[in-house]
C-alpha cells in the first residue's frame, strides 16, 4: 500500500505545519491507524521560537529525527539538549515522562520527523539516548534502532528495526527480511526511488506485509534518502 505525500493528513498552525502518515490527534482515518507497533510518523516543520510546551507521555517509544535546523529537548528526567540536522533522539516514556520540544532559532524553521512506536512492555523506567542519523557511506543500510542495540544502534523496547539509507543516483540496493510475520514500512525523505513497478517521491511511504524484502533503484538525477522500518505484525 502506497500513501502519497499529498494524501497525508495535515495540521496547520501559525507556528506548525505537520503532515501525518497515520491517524493523529483530531485526524482520523480507520484505514491508517498504524502499521504493526508503528503508530505515528509526523513530518513536522516548526517556525522560529515555536514548539510543543511541556506535555506528558507514557508507555511509548518516541523518536525525533532532525532533518533541517535545530530542535531543543527538555524533559522531567533532567535531559536537555539542542540536537541538529543529522541527529536522532530517542526517548522511552515508560512509566511516565514530561517533555517539551522547541525550535530555539529566532530566524530559521526546524524540520523533523516525530515517530511513535508501541513498546513490548509497560510501566518501565524511562530512558533517553541520541546519535547521528546517517552514516558517512552511501549505498549502505545503517541500523539506527533495534531491540538489542547491535551494530551501534540504539536499543529500543520493541522487536522493531529502523534503518536509514542514502542511495546515490543510478545505484540499486536490496533489503532482505530474515523472519516471517514481518512488515516493511518505507518512507522517502528526499529524491525519487523505484520499488518494483512503483516510483516513490519525497514524503511518500510504502507498506508491505509478509515479503522477503525490497529492491530499490535511484532513478532520478539526485541521491535518494529513505527510512525503512522492519516491524512485527
Q: Tens digit of pLDDT for each residue in 80-138?
A: 899 999 999 999 999 999 999 999 999 999 999 999 999 999 999 999 988 877 656 79
Q: How confident is the model at residue 203 (pLDDT cuts 50, 70, 90)?
A: very high
Q: Which CATH class is domain 8-132?
A: mainly beta
Q: Residue 109's pLDDT is what?
A: 98
Q: Residue 42's pLDDT is what?
A: 98
Indicate where the chain has its CATH 2.60.120.10 domain(s).
8-132, 142-232
Q: Tens digit of pLDDT for each residue in 47-79?
A: 999 999 999 999 999 999 999 999 999 999 998
- pTM attached to this predicted model: 0.95
Q: 4, 168 in Cβ contact below 8 A? A: no
Q: Which CATH class is domain 142-232?
A: mainly beta
Amino acid at each position: 500500500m502506497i500513501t502519497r505525500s499529498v494524501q497525508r493528513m495535515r495540521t496547520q498552525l501559525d507556528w506548525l505545519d505537520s503532515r501525518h502518515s497515520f491517524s493523529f490527534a483530531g485526524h482520523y482515518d480507520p484505514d491508517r491507524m498504524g502499521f504493526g507497533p508503528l503508530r505515528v510518523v509526523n513530518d513536522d516543520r516548526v517556525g522560529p521560537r515555536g514548539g510543543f510546551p511541556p506535555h506528558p507521555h507514557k508507555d511509548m517509544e518516541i523518536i525525533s529525527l532532525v532533518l533541517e535546523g535545530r530542535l531543543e529537548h527538555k524533559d522531567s528526567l533532567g535531559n536537555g539538549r539542542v540536537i541538529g540536522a543529522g541527529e536522532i533522539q530517542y526517548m522511552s516514556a515508560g512509566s511516565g515522562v514530561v517533555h517539551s520540544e522547541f525550535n530555539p532559532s529566532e530566524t530559521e524553521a526546524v524540520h523533523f520527523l516525530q515517530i511513535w512506536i508501541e513498546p513490548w512492555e509497560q510501566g518501565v523506567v524511562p530512558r533517553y539516548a541520541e546519535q547521528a542519523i546517517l552514516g558517512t557511506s552511501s549505498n549502505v543500510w545503517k541500523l539506527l534502532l533495534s531491540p538489542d542495540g547491535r551494530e551501534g544502534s540504539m536499543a529500543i523496547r520493541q522487536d522493531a528495526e529502523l534503518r536509514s539509507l542514502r542511495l546515490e543516483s543510478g545505484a540499486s540496493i536490496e533489503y532482505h527480511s530474515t523472519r516471517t510475520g514481518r512488515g516493511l514500512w518505507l518512507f522517502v525523505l528526499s529524491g525519487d526511488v523505484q520499488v518494483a513497478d512503483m516510483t516513490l517521491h519525497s514524503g511518500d511511504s510504502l507498506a508491505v506485509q509478509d515479503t522477503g524484502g525490497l529492491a530499490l533503484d535511484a532513478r532520478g538525477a539526485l541521491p535518494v534518502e529513505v527510512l525503512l522500518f522492519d516491524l512485527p505484525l
